[in-house]
Structure 1
Amino acid sequence: MRDILKTLKDEHDELRSLFDALNATTDRAEKKRTELLQKIEAALIPHAKWEELVFYPAFAERASHDQLLQHAEAIQEHRAVELTVLPDLHASPKTSRQFAGSAKVLSEFITHHADEEEQDMFSAARTLFSAEERADLDEQYETWKASPAAAALTVHAKVKTALKSVIRNPKAPG
């Protein structure tokens, strides 16, 4: 049976693997770093946006007082990545130590977030949502990811990141 929690965890694992590859690159690997960053964003942005729009609100509706803290932390971690960490990464030349350092911070931040989500939120979600509800959420997610709405939100997030990176470093290539 389908399960949104398994799908989201599988995507976390995919991101961990992409971050391992990115963190293993050298400063001379501009093309590889660019390709890996594109793959990371292609996996990360729709995942995060759907969590923010669907999963987190559904979780919050059923969450206990303590679980609402987990919810609030998850939202703030998403905001930090979107508003600070990704723009800083894009503001750095791909061949620089600054890029490598920013990539490492993004990797550690996302890995920490995914670990907490899996241990705390997903564990709680197994009791908050029935297997049928989790399967339905998984189907909704698959449909949403292929939708124009998902594509539009992804483009919007990338444009915001690009604009923030230009503000941070007007001389940096996009």
Structure 2
Amino acid sequence: MRDILKTLADEHDTLRSLFEQINATTDRAEKKRTELLQKIEANLIPHAKWEELVFYPAFAERASHDQLLQHAEAIQEHRAVELTVLPDLHAADKTSRQFAGSVKVLSEFITHHADEEESEMFKAARQLFTPAERAELDEQYEAWKASPAAAGLTFHAKAKTALKSIVRNPKAPG
């Protein structure tokens, strides 16, 4: 049976693998870093946006007082990545130590977030949602990822990141 929690955890694993690859690059690997960053964002942004729009609100509706703290932390971690970490990464020259450092921070941040989500939030969600509800959420997520709405939100998020990176470093290529 389908399960949104397995799908989201599998996507976390994909991101972990991509971060291992990009963290292993050298400063001379501009093309490889660019390709890997594109893959990271292609996986990360739709995942995060759907969690924010669908999964987190559904979780919050059923959450206990303590589980609402997990919810609040998850939202703030998403905001920190979107508003600070990704724009800083894009503002850095891909052949620089700053880029490597920003990638390292992003990978640690996302890995920590994914680990917490899986060990705390997903564990709670297994109790809050029936297997049938988790399967339905998984189907909705698959359909949403292929939708114009997902493409639009992903484009918007990338555009915001690009604009914020320009403000941070007007000379950066974006």
> Do they fold alike, i.e. is TM over 0.5?
yes
Question: Structure 2: how far apart are the matches of 1:121 and 1:14?
Answer: 19
Question: Structure 1: how far apart are the matches of 2:162 and 2:94?
Answer: 14
Question: Structure 1: how far apart are the matches of 2:135 and 2:146?
Answer: 17
| Counterpart position of 1:127 | 127
Question: Structure 1: how far apart are the matches of 2:48 and 2:87?
Answer: 16
Superposed, which structure 2 residues align to 1:1-174 within 5 Å?
1-174=1-174
Question: Structure 2: how far apart are the matches of 1:24 and 1:87?
Answer: 21
Shift of 1:21: 0.1
**Residues 60-94 of structure 1, C-alpha deviations (whole Å, 9 max, x = no match):** 00000000000000000000000000000000000
Question: Structure 1: how far apart are the matches of 2:77 and 2:34?
Answer: 24
* Equivalent residue letter for 2:68: L
Question: Structure 1: how far apart are the matches of 2:150 and 2:170?
Answer: 29
Question: Structure 2: how far apart are the matches of 1:136 and 1:85?
Answer: 32
Question: Structure 2: how far apart are the matches of 1:11 and 1:18?
Answer: 11
* Equivalent residue letter for 2:90: H
Shift of 1:150: 0.1
* Equivalent residue letter for 2:112: H
Poorly superposed stretches of 4+, deviation over 6 Å: none
**Residues 30-89 of structure 1, C-alpha deviations (whole Å, 9 max, x = no match):** 000000000000000000000000000000000000000000000000000000000000
Question: Structure 1: how far apart are the matches of 2:47 and 2:13?
Answer: 12
Identity %: 87
Matched length: 174
**Residues 82-120 of structure 1, C-alpha deviations (whole Å, 9 max, x = no match):** 000000000000000000000000000000000000000
Shift of 1:151: 0.1
